[in-house]
Amino acid sequence: MVVFAVPPFLRYGKYCGIMYTGCAGERPCDSLDACCQKHDACVEAKN
């Protein structure tokens, strides 16, 4: 089994990061995190 780990410095807040989609249902911690939340929702809607 292959397990992929993302180094912690590639994550920010609750929604920003490579291969990290956040904490569904939780509020973003700041405006940058809110942008990442909106981006994640857009990507999910387009797939």
Task: Provide the annotated active-site residues.
Answer: 39
d(CA 8, CA 24): 19
Q: Is 16 helix (H, G, I), strand (E, B) or coil?
A: strand
Rounded distance between C-alpha atoms, residue 8 and residue 28, angstroms: 18
